[in-house]
Structure 1
Amino acid sequence: MKSRDFAPLASWAVSTMLIVAAAGCQQTDDEYKPPPPPKVTVARPVVQTVTRFIEENGETEAVERAEVRARVRGFLETIEFTPAQTVQEGDVLYRIERAEYEAAVAAADAALGAADAAIAVAEAADRNAAVEVKRSELEFERQKALFEKDATTRSDFERATANRDAALAAKNASEANLTAARADRDKAQAQLDQAKLDLSYTEVVAPISGQITRTLVKKGNLVESGTHLATIVAPDPIYANFSISDRDALQIQSSRLNEDGELRDDEVELTDIPVYLRRESDSEFRFTGNLDYFDQEGVDQATGTLGLRAIFGNAKHLLLPGLFVRVRLPVGKITDAILIPEKAIIRDQTGKYVLIVDGEDNVERSLIQTGPQYGEMVVVEEGVDPSDRVILEGLQRARPGSPVTPTEITLSPVDMPSAETEPASDAASDDSGAPSGGADASAAAASNSDAS
C-alpha cells in the first residue's frame, strides 16, 4: 500500500524537474543578440575630365521668312499652290485679274506712239526754223553791206535785222518744243514701263524658297496693294536665339585664353563653338549646331545679358520656328572632376551631404559642395575624395557612426559630347533623333547651376 501511495508523488516530482529544465533551456534561447550590420551598396567616385556647360532657354527662329503680299489692286482669279507646299523663288502663287492692267499697257503704248509722232513734228519744225535763220542772216548781211554804202534805205536794213531776230527766236522756240516733245516721250515710256510692271504684278510670285502657309485671302476676293496673302518659311537650317549672363560671357572669354591672355592654340573660332539643343519633349540634347552670332552691341545694360544665336541643320523639319527650347554650349573643362550619382546625395537643413564608409566599415557623414550635373552624375567640388566609398543604396539603413556591410560596385565614366561639330548646313548635323556627338542620356541634362 505504501508503495502505491508514493508513486503519484514520485511522478509529480519528475514532472516538476522536467518543467524546470525546460524553463531553463527556454531562457537561454531568448537571450538578446545584436542584429548584423545592415547591407549597403557603395562605389568610389568617377574621376575624369568633363566639359563645363552653360545651359539656357532659347527660342527657334526661321533663317528665312517672307510675307507674300499683293502689289496691285484687283480680284484674285486663281491660287496656284496648296498649303504647306514647298515652293521655289519665282514660282507663281496667285493670279490677279489682268484686263485693267492690259488696257493700261495699251493706253501707255499708244501715248508713247503719240509722243514719238510729236517728236517728229517738232524736229521738222526745228529744221524749218534753222532754214529760216540761215535765210534771214544772209539777208541781214546783204542789207548791212548795202546800208554801209548808202545803197539801201534804213527801213530795209531794219526790216532785215528784225526778220533775222525773229528767225532766231523761232529757232529757239522750235528747239524748246523739240526738247518738250522728247521729255513727253520719256514720260510716256516711263508710263508704259509702269503699266507693264503693274501687269507683271498680277502674277504674285514667291519671294524666297521654302514652305508656304495656307492662303489668307480666298479666290474671287478683292485685294489691295500690300494685302498679306500668305507667308513662306525656309525651315532648313534654323536659328535658336538665347541670352547668357554677363558673368557667363566673361567665363567663355576667359576659358578661351591662355595664361598670356592670348587665344589658345586648340581653340576654334567663336562662331564654331558647338551648341546642343533639346526640345521640351526631348530627354536628351539630340540636335547639334554651332554658334552663329553674338550681339555686336555687347551686354544689354537693362538685363545684364548678352544675346547669342546658334544655327542647326533641320533637313527633316523636326525643329519648328517659335519653339521654346533648351540650349547648352561648352565653356571649358574641369580636369580630374569627382563625380558621384545624384541619388547618393542627401539634403537637409544643413545642406547637402553623403554617407561614406571608412576603412573599418563604419558610416561617416560628409558635407559636400556640388557643381554641374551630367545626367545622373553630379560633380562634387568639396567633401569627397577619389578613394572614398560612397553609399549608393541602403541609405535608409545606414547611420553615421554605425557599422555596415558594404558591397562595392564600379561606376562607369560619363559619356561627354564631342568637342567639335560639323557645320549646321552639312548632312552630318544630326536632326534624325539619334544623340549627336555622343550626347546620350547619361550626359544629356548637363547643368551649370551650382547648388553649393
Structure 2
Amino acid sequence: MPDNSYQAPPPPEVTVAHPLQKTVTIFIEENGETEVVEQADVRARVRGILEEIKFVPGQIVQQDDVLYVIQRSEYQAALNSAKAALAAAEAAIEVANAQTGVVEVELTRAETDFQRHKELLAKEAVTQSQFDTVLATRDGVRARREAAIAATAAAKADRDRAQANLDQAQLDFDYTLVKAPISGRITKTEIKQGNLVENGSLMATIVGRDQMYANFNVSDREVLRLQKAAQERGEPRNPEKDRYRDMPVYLRRELDEGFPFVGKLDYVDQEGVDQSTGTFAIRAIFENPDNLILPGLFVRVRVPVGKLDDALLIPEQALSRDQRGTYVLVVNEERKVDRRTVTPGQTEEGMVVIETGLTGDELVLIDGGQRARPGVEVSPTEINLTMPDESESVQTEAASPADEPVESAEAAPTEDQP
C-alpha cells in the first residue's frame, strides 16, 4: 500500500558566508548639489539696433569672441566727431603757446626798458612821467603774459576733455561688438536680431563647464572628524592656507557605479557651524573636461577621513529592516537561523561595513532568506566573500548537507541570539 504518512519538507537551501574582513577607508558621505565655477551674463553696454548674431545656442565660445553686432553707424559718427574735436583742441593749444611766446618776448623787452629807465630816473636823466609810462607798459605786458598762460591752460583743459570724449566715443564704438566675457557654452539669445537693445540688456549667458563645484553640508560631529583627518595629512601648518584645501573628494551622480569623479576640497565656510542647522558648509571642485557633471545636479559626495582595520563587510542584500531596526540572519552551529541586530556603516562597492552586532565568526545568510526565519533549520552552502574588484565572482565551498532532513519550523522571530 502507498505510504500516506506526512513527509517533512527538506530544510530551505541558503547561501551563507563569514563577513569579509579588510581595511577600509572611512568616509564622510553627504548629498550635494553641483554649481558652475564660471558663469557670466552677456549684456549690452550701448543702446542700438541689434544687427547681427554670430553664434548658435549651445556653441562653445572663447573669451573675447564677437557674439553680437549692434548698429555702428551712429557710434562711428560720434567717434569721428570726437577725433575732430580733439584735433581742434590740439590746434588751440598750439595757438595759445605761440601767443604766450610772443608775450614773453615783449615782456623781456619791457623789463629791460623798465630797468634802464629806473637807473636813469635815479640820475634824474628822465622825468617821473617818462618812468611811469615805461612802468605801466611793463605791467601791462605782465598782465598779458598771465592771460596768455591762462589761455594755454584752458586750451589744455579743453584738449583733456576732448581726449576723454574721444576715449568714451571709442569705447562706445567698440561696445557695438558685444564680446564673450569668459570661455564656455553660450545659452540661447534673449534678444532677436533687429530689435532695439538698451544699455545693460541681458542678451545671453555663458557657462564655463571645464570645472564644477559641489556644495554640501556636514554635521558638527563630522566637522571634528574632518579636522582630525586634515591634521593627520602630515602637511606643515601654513597659516596662509586653509587646512582643508586640497583634501580629496569623490562624487557620484544618481546612476553612477561607485564614485567615478575625483576632486578636492576648495572652500569651507569661514563663519563656522551654522547654529540654526548644526551643519558646516563645504565646497569641492572637480575637473569636468567632458562636461559629464552638469550644473544643478543632486549628487552624492564623500570625503576620506581615516582607515578602519579589520572592518567587517557583508553584501548589502544581507541586510533586512523592520520595526526593531536593521538586522541580519545568521546560521548557528545547529544550522538554525538566528537574528542579529546590527549597525550598518558606509557602503563599499556593494558591500556594507557592519559597525556593531557581528564579531566576524558568524555565518551570515546571504541568499535564500525568503523561507528562512529565526529558529528554522536550513541547509547552508558556504561561500567566500570577496570585493567586486578582487574577483569577478565569489568562490564557493559547499557545506556538508544534513544527514537527515528535519521538519521546517514556522517559528516566530525571537530576540537577538548571542
Structures share fold, TM-score greater than 0.5 = yes
SS of equivalent residue, structure 1 residue 272? coil
Partner of 1:203: 177
Partner of 2:145: 171
Match of 2:324, as an amino acid?
T
Partner of 1:133: 107
Shift of 1:399: 4.6
Q: Could you report, residue by residue, the CA deviation over 1:184-203 in whole angstroms, capped at 9, with x for unpaired residues? A: 11221221222122111111
Query: TM-score with structure 2 length normalisation?
Result: 0.84
Are the equivalent residues in 1 in contact too, given 2:372–2:378 (CA < 8 A)?
yes
The higher radius of gyration belongs to: 1
Match of 1:175, as an amino acid?
I
Does residue 68 of structure 2 align to residue 97 of structure 1?
Answer: no
RMSD over aligned CA atoms reads: 2.7
Tell me whether 393-402 or 289-298 shows the greater mean CA deviation: 393-402
Q: 1:172 to 1:274 in 2, by over 3 A?
A: same
Mapped partners of 2:373, 2:71: distance in 1: 87
Mapped partners of 2:188, 2:198: distance in 1: 19
Partner of 2:337: 363
Q: 1:247 to 1:186 in 2, by over 3 A?
A: same
Partner of 1:220: 194
SS of equivalent residue, structure 1 residue 359? coil
Mapped partners of 2:182, 2:13: distance in 1: 68
SS of equivalent residue, structure 1 residue 152? coil
Partner of 1:263: 234
Mapped partners of 2:290, 2:173: distance in 1: 39
Does residue 272 of structure 2 align to residue 298 of structure 1?
Answer: yes
Q: 1:135 to 1:40 in 2, by over 3 A?
A: closer
Are the equivalent residues in 2 in contact too, given 1:274–1:290 (CA < 8 A)?
yes
Shift of 1:174: 0.9
Partner of 1:409: 383
Match of 1:378, as an amino acid?
V
SS of equivalent residue, structure 2 residue 303? strand
Does residue 51 of structure 2 align to residue 77 of structure 1?
Answer: yes
Shift of 1:74: 1.0
Are the equivalent residues in 1 in contact too, given 2:244–2:268 (CA < 8 A)?
no
SS of equivalent residue, structure 2 residue 245? helix
Shift of 1:211: 1.4
Match of 1:229, as an amino acid?
M
Does residue 256 of structure 2 align to residue 285 of structure 1?
Answer: no
Gaps spanning 5+ residues in structure 2: where? 237-242, 393-418
SS of equivalent residue, structure 2 residue 64? coil
SS of equivalent residue, structure 2 residue 142? helix
Structure with the larger helix share: 1
Are the equivalent residues in 2 in contact too, given 1:76–1:94 (CA < 8 A)?
yes
Tell me whether 283-292 or 156-165 shows the greater mean CA deviation: 283-292
Shift of 1:148: 1.4
The aligned length equals 386
Mapped partners of 1:304, 1:205: distance in 2: 45
Match of 1:312, as an amino acid?
F
Are the equivalent residues in 2 in contact too, given 1:42–1:408 (CA < 8 A)?
yes
Partner of 1:112: 86
Are the equivalent residues in 1 in contact too, given 2:16–2:383 (CA < 8 A)?
yes
In the alignment, which of 36, 49, 70 is matched to residue 62 of structure 1?
A: 36
Shift of 1:217: 0.8
In the alignment, which of 320, 328, 334 is matched to residue 308 of structure 2?
A: 334
Q: 1:311 to 1:114 in 2, by over 3 A?
A: same
Are the equivalent residues in 1 in contact too, given 2:251–2:301 (CA < 8 A)?
yes
Tell me whether 244-253 or 273-282 shows the greater mean CA deviation: 273-282
Partner of 2:14: 40
Q: 1:76 to 1:365 in 2, by over 3 A?
A: closer
Q: Could you report, residue by residue, the CA deviation over 1:134-183 in whole angstroms, capped at 9, with x for unpaired residues? A: 22222222222222122222221122212211111111111111111122
Shift of 1:409: 1.9
Partner of 2:409: none
Shift of 1:33: 6.4
SS of equivalent residue, structure 2 residue 294? coil
SS of equivalent residue, structure 1 residue 232? strand
Query: TM-score with structure 1 length normalisation?
Result: 0.78
Partner of 2:167: 193
Tell me whether 92-101 or 355-364 shows the greater mean CA deviation: 355-364
Q: Could you report, residue by residue, the CA deviation over 1:69-117 in whole angstroms, capped at 9, with x for unpaired residues? A: 1111111111111111111112111111111111112211221222122
Q: Could you report, residue by residue, the CA deviation over 1:233-291 in whole angstroms, capped at 9, with x for unpaired residues? A: 12112222222222212112223445xxx8389xxx84333322222343543323222
